[in-house]
Structure 1
Amino acid sequence: MSRRRKAIATVELALCLPLLLVLMLGVWEIARYVEVQQVLNQAAREAGRQAAGGGKTADEVQQAVIVFLQSAGINPANVQVTITNLANPGNTDPRQASNLDALEVQIELPFRDVTLSFTSMFIPENAHMRARTVWRSLRDLPVAVDTNAPVE
């Protein structure tokens, strides 16, 4: 290869390399966004399942989300978990839900907390990732059992 061809290849690399690096970082950040969104969806599903059982408080459900995110390698410091009883919006305690009430669990996390590169300085402060799920309360119905044996 002649010296002229080597110089041309060097100039081509110098022109294309920044574009390729930006493209690679963009693909990397999009992949991270998809990964974290999937983890948030799974955490919301798990929180909804635990809330629907009727035996956990809102704090216990929130703790389950935090543990789930930590196990997936996501820092849960700024995560917000909201549990709403859609049938009775003033009631946020899943234990107080009636049977078949719709319980909505929302998880919100700032996107800046999960970016992998310096691109976070280009992301607005209010960019959040959200996951939402709605489960029906599966709380047991009270059953009265007559303990007296029938007499014939």
Structure 2
Amino acid sequence: MADRDRDSEGRALNARPRDGLGRPLPYGAPGVARAPEGVLRSAEESLREAQRLLDDGMPFHAHEVLEDAWKSGPVEERELWRGLAQLAVGVTHAARGNRAGAAALLSRGADNIAPFADATPHGIDVTGLCEWARTLAAGLHGHERPPTAAEIAPRLR
């Protein structure tokens, strides 16, 4: 059995380089710098960094930033951040050509953030994001080629 990248407790590490959509590349290949995991950011910092990554066509990396906010944020906002992370993964799947996976994640993400629409936490356009996600999910099957991540990146605010 080949050695796998593991931490001292046996958990898998993601040491392989990745492309802009998070796909693993061969060891030694030049990859895209990954967003460091486990970083505590303010909501403002998380949204700003996630938007930058989405705009740059790196939704997988945006998902990692949003996942950190989901895991470290206030309990009452966890489903919001989880849903935002799911939207980023939906964009990742769409750009990779996985239409069914994209539609499922986009719909699930929209469902998770929808309860926050009246509150507009941190200036997030929850209503607009839900509409964007559901429209994109419904329209993915009409594309001949997968859209680029930057073409379909949402505006979080």
TM-score (norm 2): 0.28
More strand by share: 1
Which structure shows the bigger proportion of residues in helix conformation? 2
Q: Which structure ranks higher in relative contact order (CA pairs < 8 Å, sequence separation ≥ 6)?
A: 1
Which one has the largest radius of gyration?
1
